[in-house]
Amino acid sequence: MAAIMQCPSCKEFLAEEGDMDKGKGRNFYRVYDSVGNLLNNKGKYRALYCLSCEYFDNIDHWHN
């Protein structure tokens, strides 16, 4: 199960898209991964996209 994350832009607490257990009454975020980067750079280029306000940035800028 994915973590609940807070969008740095709209400050809304979001569940990962498709995580129905945590998604009740929440908006969602979408995870963007590059498989090559995950294997070679420890997930350095993972990004999240807020489906509420459309904020998109590296996972390091988000809060859980």
What does the pLDDT look like over 20-31, one tens digit per residue?
A: 777 677 899 998
pLDDT of 15 over the 80 cut: yes
pLDDT of 9 over the 90 cut: yes
Burial label, 16 (beta-carbon count in 10 A; 0-12, 13-18, 19+): middle
Record the pTM. Answer: 0.77
